[in-house]
């Protein structure tokens, strides 16, 4: 039996993964609760953090096992990079409007 298929290793890995995702969402929520202008922005940022945490967990915690297939991982990375670029563009766009 492959040691990476052992339930003794798989269950703690899943629990650590869930803890990482929940912690990332919790700290992001605490960071942006006070000064967010709209709830839709907060929702988009929380979704971005959850997807980023899932991608990181797939790469770091499940090293030998694939939590996501290769096309899913590549698609998720493309989605995350697109969301980051959009969020940065909206942020800097709103900053230039507020200065005018």
pLDDT tens, position by position, 27-57: 877 776 555 566 667 777 778 888 888 888 8
Are 53 and 20 in contact by the 8 Å Cβ rule? The answer is yes
Mean pLDDT for the stretch of residues 82-100 = 73
Lowest pLDDT segment from 2-6, 37-41, 81-85? 2-6
pLDDT band with cut points at 50, 70 and 90 for residue 1: very low
Structure tokens at 23: 């912690």
Alpha-carbon torsion angle 77, 75, 68, 30, nearest 10: 40
For residues 90 and 95, give the distance between their C-alpha atoms in angstroms, rounded to a whole number.
9
Residues near 44 by beta carbon (within 8 Å), at least 6 away in sequence: 83, 87
Place of tokens 């709209």: 38
């Amino acid at each position: 039996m492959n040691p990476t298929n052992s339930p003794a290793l798989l269950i703690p890995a899943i629990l650590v993964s869930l803890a990482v995702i929940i912690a990332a969402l919790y700290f992001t929520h605490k960071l942006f609760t006070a000064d967010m202008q709209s709830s839709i922005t907060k929702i988009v940022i929380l979704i971005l953090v959850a997807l980023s945490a899932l991608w990181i967990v797939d790469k770091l915690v499940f090293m030998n096992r694939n939590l996501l297939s290769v096309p899913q991982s590549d698609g998720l990375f493309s989605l995350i990079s697109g969301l980051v670029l959009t969020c940065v563009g909206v942020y800097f766009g709103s900053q230039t409007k507020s200065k005018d």
